[in-house]
Amino acid sequence: MPEPEEGGRKVYTVAELTAGLKHVIESEFSGLWVEGEISNFKVYPSGHAYFTLKDEEAQIRSVMWKGMRQLLKFEPKDGDKVICRGRLSVYEKRGEYQLTVEAMEPAGLGALQMAFNRLKEKLTAEGLFGEKRKKALPYIAWSVGIITSPAGAVLRDMVRTIKRRFPGLRIVFAPVAVQGDGAKEQIAKAIADMNEYGKVDVIICGRGGGSLEDLWAFNEEIVARAIAGSKIPVVSAVGHETDFTIADFAADARASTPTAAAEIIAPERADVESTIEEFHRRLFVEMRDIVETRSQRLDDAANRLERGALLKTGRMRDKLSAAARHLMAVSPAAQLKNRRERLANAHQRLTGGLTRARDVSSARAAAALSRINAIRPENFVSSRRDALNRAFEKLGERLTASSSIKRKRLEVIAGKLDALSPLKALARGYSIVTSPDGKKIYTRAADLRPGDHVRIKMSDGETQATIRSAGGGKQEKLF
């Protein structure tokens, strides 16, 4: 600052005055919560967002840097009423001050709920939730794909329920993270992988209960589109009965809980076997009735044919008798004998043809009945049951081996993390200096100013301190 001139005046340069104001404003107005309406919201190619926050009486320029904006659970737009947390900053070249926004949430409605409502409206308008595009679930899913976290009780409950209700069903498991960074991408990829694999009849995708934040991966657009685009029917099983997610609307069926999803997919085996037995009984009765009916028709036809042949033979005999009498009257006895022989031959051929026709029809009926008895459904069910049991035993062995390998990897990673822990350095006599709120870590003395308040973290606790002197180089006394 300049020295007082004659007459007691202090003369500031513009830069000095602006710098003084910047120091006062930025030091006094930090950690602010400001409510207002967004206008002129614009995101630049850099990813930074610039807008105006206003109310009925005033307005303030605001900026939200790319890193902070990417953490938002909703996309702000003009007209939104929001509550912002941030600090005032001064842009010295223009002599302007602005609000640097570090966090934002809708006023009166949670950010997550707003994002949920907007995405639901968008996908509903596209017809993604329409009943016409939903696929029917198979009566028996011989192969079930499960997409969930390998940790927790959800997977165990579903597998236990499927085993209890229909032992031998094949289970294909795709482990994913169900919350946190990367969860939505893992879930969407697992659904695509199941479709590419193509050897499952239905997919269960879900997790246990939790808060709206915990379930948020199943409210992401990428997951909803992956479910809707699946060629294999998908059952959504997220949270508890009262929890609804975007995935529930996109799925072909919704289960109130993961265990309920397993019950939907796997019917009681005893009920299925009873149904098969009933179908077999009905099939046998119907085929028996068909065979008996056709046999009766065949007998009736044979009887009609025999009566017709006899009648025809009688008529032929009458005609031949008349001819014979005529020949006896007008020709030698040799002609009469010839006519009688021809009549006897015709009668023999007619009787033989009738007998052969009856034998052929009886053989066909016996062959049809033999084929019906050969294709018994219980033989097919038994062979499939043995194959499914062998496949499930192999799956258990693979899951055990995979769990052992992952456990060993986890132990190695835990050891590395422990070795790199900053608490190790603190135990050797080092300390960490941060701002009072703990958000900024000071690594150089030059970053500190006289009068700054700091927090010092040591191996056995923390303490507060005030900087008396600071700057680069060796200091005689810092605190």
Predicted local distance difference test score (pLDDT) of residue 332:
57
Question: By the 8 A CB rule, do 101 and 86 touch?
Answer: yes
CA–CA distance, 1 with 13 (Å, rounded to integer): 9
* Tokens (6 digits) for 472: 């680069």
The total number of residues written for the chain in this structure: 479
Q: What is the pTM of this model?
A: 0.44
Number of other residues whose CB lies within 10 A of the CB of residue 202: 24
Question: By the 8 A CB rule, do 137 and 265 touch?
Answer: yes
C-alpha distances (whole Å) from 236 to each of 152, 251, 254, 302 are 18, 6, 5, 63
Predicted local distance difference test score (pLDDT) of residue 220:
92
Predicted local distance difference test score (pLDDT) of residue 325:
61
Number of other residues whose CB lies within 10 A of the CB of residue 125: 9
Number of other residues whose CB lies within 10 A of the CB of residue 164: 13
Consecutive sets of 10 residues in the chain, 479 residues long: mean pLDDT of each? 60 85 82 90 93 90 91 84 89 85 79 81 92 90 93 90 90 94 94 95 92 87 95 92 87 92 87 76 80 78 75 68 58 65 74 72 69 61 77 82 85 78 75 85 84 85 84 47
C-alpha distances (whole Å) from 246 to each of 146, 194, 217, 232, 259 are 19, 20, 10, 18, 20
Predicted local distance difference test score (pLDDT) of residue 317:
67
Beta strand 81-91 pairing with 32-43: antiparallel
Predicted local distance difference test score (pLDDT) of residue 305:
80
* Tokens (6 digits) for 294: 């056709």
